Structure 1
Amino acid sequence: MIRHRRLAAVLCLIAAVGLGGCSLQDDGPSGDAKNGRATKAPKKPNIVFVLTDDLSWNLVAHMPQVLQMQRDGLTLGNFIVADSLCCTSRATIFTGRYPHNTGVRTNFPPLGGYEVFKRNGGEQASFAPSLQKSGYRTALLGKYMNGYQPDDTGGGTKPYVPPGWSEWYVSGNGYPEYDYNLNENGRLVHYGARPQDYLTDVLAGKGVDFIKRSRGSAQPFFMEIATFAPHGPFVPAPRHAGQFAGLRAPRSPSFNEPDIRDKPSWLRSHPKLRRPGIGRIDAGFRDRVRMVQSVDEMVGRIRTTLKELGIDRETYVVFGSDNGFHMGEHRLAGGKMTAFDTDVRVPFVFTGPDVPAGRTAGQIAQNTDLAPTFQEIAGVRPPAETDGRSLVPLLRGGTPPDWRETALIEHVKPAPSPQDPDRQDSAPGAPTTYNALRTHDMLYVEYADGEREYYDRAHDPHELTNIAGSLPEQRRRHLSDLLYALTHCTGAKCADAGRSR
């Protein structure tokens, strides 16, 4: 055997000189196997997903750890949510399906909320069971779906943990950040009003602990920390409560918009904001900035822990928000649910293996794309019913030639619900039911009552002048047909329709 290998080496040397190279192959065991060590397949990457609640782009400037993520990784500059509402967005994130396919159209029954998500099979369709089946340890911490209660037994004898989750630390009403219950792997635990009970900090500690415990496992891990911050009532951690004393809400050109006669009727009725209202907006913005400091510290703790454990190069860290939030734009005091950029374009930043540093991708991404992205990273084929597409080509610095040109936004105005913590969903000044298209250079909205909006975002990025009435009939018909196709699409047909504009 040795003589044969020496002969092969001599022939290889001759070939290398004359032909530029050769390959030695040996059908015997590998070097590791010869030494008694079996060759292992490479471990799949870990994934940490930090999902915030109502975090708008104008808060990121005050988050140094997220800004560092942008320097270290890839920012998706045109990430558009399919509905700027918490529960509908989360249902889409979990399943990769548009709201018209999840059946979750509002935050609470009968058209939405946790009950509807569960009844429609959303928990089984979530990416979590597929990741767990492929070998991942999975954990969800923080917020799940609107209407979920941590003491819900799901028909059993102890608090219910949905399928697909190896570990579960989830609350129901964590918005005040104090005096809440967590379902901790089927055990109900109460947290009070002490400074150390501040929910975002508790989640950060549990997240770091999960990472440390997972480091010693042969399994890769997926962890989602879904904060309630910076959702109202805007309660910052005590250590941040006195910061940013002179800060005001940004005064963009759309702030307290002077002329809204061109806007749809639901908005035309809004009077100009007066000094007391503007003062409340400024105070709310300051508290939102204060509130995200603990989220930012969480991001820093997670990334530092990954580096200290030596697993940062094999772990994707994803930071994002379920929807945006307006504060004073277009005369709207505070809220979401519109198709305006403030509400539908949200921060999403990725760091991790092969992700280019300091780059911003301009392609239009949606929250339908997160589930198939996590599944591709985990080596799982997304279901045929998935409406979105994996972002992995973008994460590797590529530019897919057939990527979508148009994002779909769809919103149903719900009936009043006592479960709504903001009383925003069905407020008199909230938008009526609509569907919308968003491209790089335009926003087109069709309301259920027949009204229309069209903004030329190339020349009017703040969406001040509605020119729907001057659209050529052929253009209006094309947009309406495209909107119909997207609101009725499923699976690959959504990708096909999204390539039109």
Structure 2
Amino acid sequence: MARRSGYIVAALALAVCAFTAAIALTGGGDPAEGASSEASTRAKVDKTPDQPNIVVVMTDDQTVESMRVLPKVRKLIADEGITFANNFASNPVCCPSRSTFLSGQYSHNTGVLRNSLPDGGFASFDNSETLPVWLQRAGYYTAHVGKYLNGYGATNSGPTFIPPGWSEWYGAVDPSTYRMYGYTLNENGNLVTYGDYDTPDPANYQTDVYADKAVDFIQRRAPRSQPFYLSMAPLAPHVEVFARPSAGDDDPPTPSFPNPRPAPRDAGAFGNENLPKSPSFNEADVSDKPEGIRNRALLTPQAAGMARNRYRSRLGSLLAVDDMVGRIVGALRKSGELNNTVIMFLSDNGFLLGEHRIPTGKQYPYEESIRVPFEIRGPGIPKNEVRQQMAANVDLAPTILDLAGATAGGPIDGRSLMPLIEDPNRYFGRGIVLENWCQVEEKLCYDPYNPTVPRYRGVRTDRFAYMRYPNGEQEMYDLQRDPNELNSLQNSKAYGPERQALSKLLDRIQVCRTKACRTSPKLKLKLAYKPGRLGGGKPCTASSVNVRVGGKDAGESVSARFITPGKDTEDGRRPLHILVKRSELNSGGNTPISANVSVLDGRIATVSGKVPGAC
């Protein structure tokens, strides 16, 4: 060991000898292969002794902005738990995103690339090893109500097929899934149709019927000791789908994708609502965008008006979802199970309404499309907190498994979010894969003979979004400085190093599997100090502590927020370091020290260590 100025520099693992100094080397890399092993190596949150019940409410095509019209969701879930403000859908389309939720895998691993065949839809998904199957194996009683995967009930398996893993099944049968009235449910093998599309009977309004089934399920299952998992999937705020030609002059044709109808009690609730117009709405200059956006004309007043009307209908349809959540929470409270139930509220993907000249849509890699709501409450989960840590739909299955004490029966690409829930200062240091394949009907984009060519591949880090297109075009945004994505930086010389780092990261993870999807910068926290001994031989720290970011990727680091007891310190000059005075250390017991390190590609990774208390 080398000695200098009375300090000994050594790895923390070797700091077992008396009267030695120490350097703590703590990595920021992925410490675990899956949720179960990760859970075993970290501090536990306060939980009830039993497995919690788990309720998931997944809306369809909902934006983060629209959360403002859901007061019950905000009060009963967000205020009672955590909101992940940076939660993303890796492939922002219905079926691929829902397949990711069920499997914990990215689309390039599920094989569900789009909403329909080939390489998409219900028929492309392997239902044999999924989240509900794993929960059943762990002792859960499971139920699903509502939309499943696009094409369910309309394929060779037939409308009465029940996917494995479900104790009770109330799955919406396509194509009726996309109707607020006149839809058909497979109710445990029996087909039941509710109302008629043309007759808006309040008793048959889809979201309310789903809410009735949820309350009935809770009332029946809550008194039992067996934990339950309830999956709720309302259509709102997705458009309805019901094309019909005119039957005469007095019977106008029904459009293929009519706006979603609110519950009768909510009709007209947002009749005067204006469409939000962020700086990216009907973007004036799209010369920096890829060809598919550059070729779009400015929105006409008529197109903007149609987007506004859709926006109003979407908001109105969500009010019944808000009521559903209120009824679910009320049933859980009445049954005495609320405090032992985890509730998640989320959406499969976001939606664009005029941003970047896109009248309506969702498959694009822009923030309105990929950023989605995610609120979670439950036993041991902190209350009324908004977190900036990144999460993604690929993380939901491993998080639920972690909460349930269950084990995945297949490979997992995501990570349990429980370490982030437990520690607001923890960042994983990984990038989120962005990927999307064209739908079959997009003839200018879709190649049935080469399904491996996506519309784009990209990566979202804590600071940047970077995409590559098959024609060689790129997009890159510094979301810290340009949150509306108005100025793509693919040709910026000033951002050349960052672009190169993002391209390298995308090369590593674009077709990743399991642990490779969770790759993080190789960083360590080095702690140098002079050791001492208290009476009785207990080790202590006899000097200030020199804290420095090291490791293989330390040269890629650009800034760090060092976290010590009662104090945060920023440093933006390499080598990233701070000096912690002895007087700032704990007087008894160890002093934890950590750093959230930002690297060139925009990822933030947490590295940590500890030193003995002050002498």
- Tell me which interval the TM-score lies in, with the shorter structure as reference length: 0.7 to 0.9
Note if 1:85 corresponds to 2:82: no
Q: Secondary structure at the match of 2:369?
A: helix
Structure 1 stretch displaced more, 471-480 or 190-199: 471-480
Question: Match for residue 232 of structure 1?
Answer: 239
Equivalents in 2 of 1:159, 1:459: separation in Å?
A: 51
In structure 2, the CA distance between the partners of 1:51 and 1:190, relative to structure 1 (3 Å rule), is same
- 1:125 shift after superposition: 2.1
Question: Match for residue 319 of structure 2?
Answer: 293
Q: What pairs up with 1:481-492 in 2 under 5 angstroms?
A: 481-492=504-515
- 1:473 shift after superposition: 5.0
Note if 1:444 corresponds to 2:466: yes
Equivalents in 1 of 2:318, 2:455: separation in Å?
A: 31
TM-score by length of structure 2 reads 0.69
Question: Match for residue 109 of structure 2?
Answer: 101
Q: 1:271 aligns with which of 271, 292, 297?
A: 297
Equivalents in 2 of 1:296, 1:208: separation in Å?
A: 14
Equivalents in 2 of 1:316, 1:195: separation in Å?
A: 30
Question: Match for residue 126 of structure 1?
Answer: 130
Equivalents in 1 of 2:424, 2:404: separation in Å?
A: 19
Note if 1:393 corresponds to 2:419: yes
Q: What pairs up with 1:405-484 in 2 under 5 angstroms?
A: 405-416=430-441, 433-471=455-493, 474-484=497-507
Structure 1 stretch displaced more, 99-108 or 372-381: 372-381
Amino acid at match of 2:53: N
- 1:51 shift after superposition: 0.3
Question: Match for residue 168 of structure 2?
Answer: 167
The Cα offsets for residues 88-118 of structure 1, whole Å up to 9 and x where unpaired, read as 001100000011110110100011000011x
- 1:382 shift after superposition: 3.1
Q: Secondary structure at the match of 1:232?
A: coil
Structure 1 stretch displaced more, 374-383 or 58-67: 374-383
- 1:381 shift after superposition: 2.6
Gaps of 5+ in 2: 1-47, 241-259, 447-452, 523-598, 602-615
Note if 1:186 corresponds to 2:211: no
Note if 1:368 corresponds to 2:394: yes
Question: Match for residue 325 of structure 1?
Answer: 351
C-alpha RMSD of matched pairs (Å): 2.2
Question: Match for residue 27 of structure 1?
Answer: none
In structure 2, the CA distance between the partners of 1:314 and 1:302, relative to structure 1 (3 Å rule), is same
In structure 2, the CA distance between the partners of 1:383 and 1:149, relative to structure 1 (3 Å rule), is closer
Amino acid at match of 2:389: Q
Residues 335 and 424 in structure 1, CA contact (< 8 A), matched pair in contact too: no
Would you say how many aligned residue pairs link Structure 1 and Structure 2?
444
Q: Secondary structure at the match of 1:470?
A: coil
The Cα offsets for residues 285-307 of structure 1, whole Å up to 9 and x where unpaired, read as 00001000011110111111111
Percent of pairs with identical residues = 39
Amino acid at match of 2:435: E
- 1:498 shift after superposition: 8.2
Amino acid at match of 1:125: E
Question: Match for residue 449 of structure 2?
Answer: none
Residues 264 and 452 in structure 1, CA contact (< 8 A), matched pair in contact too: yes
Equivalents in 1 of 2:404, 2:373: separation in Å?
A: 23
Gaps of 5+ in 1: 1-40, 418-422
Amino acid at match of 1:415: V
- 1:398 shift after superposition: 4.9
Amino acid at match of 2:165: G
Amino acid at match of 2:136: Q
Question: Match for residue 179 of structure 2?
Answer: 176
Equivalents in 2 of 1:394, 1:383: separation in Å?
A: 24
Equivalents in 1 of 2:184, 2:521: separation in Å?
A: 42
TM-score by length of structure 1 reads 0.85
In structure 2, the CA distance between the partners of 1:498 and 1:380, relative to structure 1 (3 Å rule), is farther
Q: Secondary structure at the match of 1:125?
A: coil
After the TM superposition, list the runs of 4 or more consecutive aligned residues in structure 1 that deviate by more than 4 angstroms: 423-426, 471-474, 497-500
Residues 51 and 226 in structure 1, CA contact (< 8 A), matched pair in contact too: yes
Equivalents in 1 of 2:470, 2:135: separation in Å?
A: 39
In structure 2, the CA distance between the partners of 1:218 and 1:76, relative to structure 1 (3 Å rule), is same
Question: Match for residue 18 of structure 1?
Answer: none
Note if 1:493 corresponds to 2:500: no
Higher normalized helix content (fraction of residues): 1
Residues 49 and 224 in structure 1, CA contact (< 8 A), matched pair in contact too: yes
Equivalents in 2 of 1:125, 1:494: separation in Å?
A: 20
Question: Match for residue 25 of structure 1?
Answer: none
Higher normalized strand content (fraction of residues): 2
The Cα offsets for residues 441-495 of structure 1, whole Å up to 9 and x where unpaired, read as 2111101111001111111100001111125555433322211211221111211
The Cα offsets for residues 250-294 of structure 1, whole Å up to 9 and x where unpaired, read as 111111111111111100111111221111111110000100001
In structure 2, the CA distance between the partners of 1:251 and 1:383, relative to structure 1 (3 Å rule), is same
Equivalents in 1 of 2:507, 2:209: separation in Å?
A: 45
